[in-house]
């Protein structure tokens, strides 16, 4: 059963609230031929983002989750509209989205709302994982064991029953133990259970704020949701983990390696973007002006096209039409390889447990608000958070007179 922000009823209500909030910011203009144009003033888009974030803040307060602070930061031009940083317990919005002084198309709003929802869901996931960790605390487990036995008092002889005073003492022991933990003890717990191999941390303040709220105490939280939080926790924080393979439950086996599941996908995606950036630079250098000689960048010999081009360069062959074709053929296979690698690693990243959950929510929001995944890329490019011309096809300079 979906839970909290993933619950269809909760999501639909937030979509209704989104439409209500949006109407406060819409400008309606009549343009040529009587057509109606609905826009949002660029200088007010930041206020809209703030109001949408406050809607999420209210949700967090109702669920007793620690509320992430909101920030506006430069998040680059790789398509990131927002992100959640568990170390600072912060949701950051790409500042490029709120810097425009021109009117923005209405289509920007649902796309940005979907991204905000995605990142606050990550914060909610981390809240549930922290609650899961607190539920493993020995003092809580002792109390829970005593509760279990007390509920069965009627089945045992009186000398073996759990008296109310003992149950209350166990509860007080748990509360005292977790609320008097010093910063050092909490940091040690984070290091032991909530820090990734790559060194990523979780806010100590957020962890401490949930000490009295282990996951099993959260109203409406089923065993299924506890299992899901455990799966997220294992995929994100364990120091020995199974390779991503679409596990459906915690009981499925997998091959172990040295990175957590999410970290491995992040690393692969980062390497793919780095490779794509290198190829993009080569393509744009080639396309900028008609070349008069072989390019100066290193040539990979992993492909037949690379070996052919490298052979021409090493033998100082004349830079004629055949040489241009060799350069273009090499860049073409480089571009195709970059696109394939980025697509594959993005698919891997979106398939790890935490991301699979949030991307499924984004698809539901797209359906509810009636916009497509293609619109997301269009908005990202228009807003300047995604390169508008990335990995362009290499020009065929042989069609231009030399």
Q: Where are the domains of the chain?
A: 4-119, 132-257, 262-399
Contacts of 282 (CB under 8 A, 6+ apart): 295, 297, 331, 334
CA distances from 270 to 136, 161, 339, 356 (A): 34, 58, 14, 18
Query: 246 near 265, Cβ under 8 Å?
Result: no
- pLDDT, position 96: 86
- pLDDT, position 376: 80
CA distances from 353 to 98, 236, 359 (A): 31, 9, 10
Query: 55 near 14, Cβ under 8 Å?
Result: yes
- pLDDT, position 307: 94
Beta bridge partners, 39, equal 27, 105
Among residues 262, 239, 242, 240, which one has the least CA distance to residue 250?
Answer: 242
Q: What is the pLDDT of residues 292-302, one digit of tens each?
A: 999 888 998 89
- pLDDT, position 90: 97
- pLDDT, position 385: 66
Residue 40: exposure state from Cβ atoms within 10 A (0-12, 13-18, ≥19): buried
Residue-level pLDDT, tens digit, the chain, 402 residues: 467 999 999 999 999 999 999 999 998 887 777 788 888 988 899 999 999 999 999 999 998 899 999 999 988 777 788 999 999 999 999 998 888 778 888 888 999 999 999 999 999 999 999 999 999 999 999 999 999 999 998 898 888 888 999 999 999 999 999 999 999 999 988 888 888 766 678 999 999 999 999 998 888 888 888 888 988 888 887 544 444 444 455 455 544 444 677 777 878 888 898 999 999 999 999 999 999 999 888 998 899 999 999 999 999 999 999 999 999 999 999 999 999 999 998 888 888 889 999 999 999 999 999 988 788 878 777 777 667 778 899 999 988 754
Among residues 142, 152, 92, which one has the least CA distance to residue 122?
Answer: 92
- pLDDT, position 6: 92
CA distances from 77 to 49, 96, 295 (A): 19, 9, 26
CA distances from 6 to 93, 242, 248, 357, 359 (A): 21, 26, 18, 8, 11
- pLDDT, position 282: 94
Distance CA 103, CA 106 (A): 9
- pLDDT, position 246: 46
Query: 261 near 352, Cβ under 8 Å?
Result: yes
Distance CA 260, CA 233 (A): 10
Query: 74 near 93, Cβ under 8 Å?
Result: no
Query: How big is the chain by its Cα radius of gyration, in Å?
Result: 27
Alpha helices in 289-320 (DSSP H): 304-314
Q: What is the pLDDT of residues 246-261, one digit of tens each?
A: 445 545 554 444 467 7
Among residues 360, 352, 401, which one has the least CA distance to residue 233?
Answer: 352
Q: Per DSSP, which regions of 78-163 are E strands?
A: 82-85, 90-94, 104-105
DSSP tag of 238: -
- pLDDT, position 386: 66
Distance CA 108, CA 77 (A): 16
Query: 283 near 391, Cβ under 8 Å?
Result: yes
Cα angle at 135 between 133 and 140, to 5 degrees? 135
């Amino acid at each position: 059963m979906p839970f909290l922000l993933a619950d269809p009823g909760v999501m639909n209500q937030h979509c209704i609230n989104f439409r209500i909030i949006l109407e406060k910011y819409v400008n309606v203009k009549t343009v040529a031929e009587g057509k109606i144009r609905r826009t949002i003033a660029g200088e007010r888009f930041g206020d809209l983002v703030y109001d949408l974030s406050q809607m999420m803040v209210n949700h967090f307060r109702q669920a007793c989750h620690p509320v992430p602070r909101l920030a506006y930061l430069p998040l680059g031009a790789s398509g990131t509209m927002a992100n959640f940083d568990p170390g600072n317990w912060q949701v950051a919005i790409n500042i490029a989205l709120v810097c425009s002084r021109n009117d923005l198309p209405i289509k920007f709003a649902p796309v940005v709302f979907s991204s905000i929802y995605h990142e606050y869901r990550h914060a909610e996931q981390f809240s549930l994982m922290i609650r899961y960790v607190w539920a493993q605390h020995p003092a809580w487990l002792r109390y829970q064991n005593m509760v279990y036995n007390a509920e069965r008092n009627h089945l045992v002889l009186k000398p073996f029953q759990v008296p109310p005073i003992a149950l209350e003492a166990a509860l007080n022991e748990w509360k005292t133990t977790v609320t008097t933990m010093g910063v050092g003890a909490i940091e040690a717990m984070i290091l032991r259970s909530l820090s990734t191999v790559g060194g990523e941390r979780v806010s100590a303040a957020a962890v401490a704020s949930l000490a009295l709220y282990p996951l099993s105490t959260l109203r409406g939280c089923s065993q299924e949701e506890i299992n899901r939080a455990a799966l997220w926790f294992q995929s994100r924080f364990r120091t020995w983990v199974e390779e991503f393979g679409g596990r459906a439950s915690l009981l499925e086996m997998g091959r172990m390696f040295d990175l957590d599941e999410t970290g491995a996908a992040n690393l692969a995606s980062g390497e793919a973007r780095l490779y794509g950036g290198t190829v993009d630079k080569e393509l744009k250098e080639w396309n900028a002006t008609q070349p008069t000689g072989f390019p100066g960048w290193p040539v990979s010999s992993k492909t037949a096209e690379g070996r052919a081009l490298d052979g021409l360069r090493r033998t100082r062959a004349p830079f004629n039409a055949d040489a241009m074709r060799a350069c273009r053929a090499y860049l073409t296979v480089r571009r195709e390889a970059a696109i394939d690698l980025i697509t594959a690693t993005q698919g891997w990243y979106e398939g790890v447990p935490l991301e699979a959950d949030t991307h499924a929510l984004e698809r539901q929001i797209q359906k509810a608000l009636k916009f497509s995944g293609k619109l997301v890329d269009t908005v990202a490019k228009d807003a300047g958070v995604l390169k508008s011309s990335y990995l362009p096809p290499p020009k065929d300079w042989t069609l231009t007179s030399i």
